[in-house]
Amino acid sequence: MRRLCLALVLVSGCIHGAPHHDDGLLRTIAQQERWAQDAVNARPTRADLDAIRSSDYRAVGRARSELKRLVQATDRGTWIRNTSAEMLSDDPDPQVVSAFDRAGRLRFDAILGADELAGALAEAKGGLTIGDLRPALEGLRKAQASEERIARLPRRAGGIKLASSPLPLPRPFIAPAARLVAANPELARELDRLPPEDAAQVRARLADIDRGREEQRRAEAPPAAAAPPAAAIAAAPEENPPAEPKEAEAPSPTLTIANDAAALLAKRMPRSITLREDGLFELSYDDAEYLVDPTGKLIRKEPHQR
- What percentage of residues in the chain have a pLDDT greater than 90? 58
The reported pLDDT for the residue numbered 207 is: 92
Q: Which amino acid is at 188?
A: A
Q: Which of 71-85, 126-140, 217-231, 274-288 comes out lowest in average pLDDT? A: 217-231
E-only strand ranges, the chain: 272-275, 281-284, 289-292, 298-302
pTM: 0.65
- pLDDT-derived band at 5 (thresholds 50, 70, 90) equals very low
Residues forming a β-bridge with 171 = none
Its sign, for the CA torsion 208, 213, 214, 218, is positive
Look at strands 281-284 and 272-275 and give their pairing: antiparallel
pLDDT above 90: residue 218: no
CA dist 99 and 270 (Å) reads: 52
- What percentage of residues in the chain have a pLDDT greater than 70? 82
What does the pLDDT look like over 256-285, one tens digit per residue?
Answer: 777 888 887 777 788 788 887 777 888 888
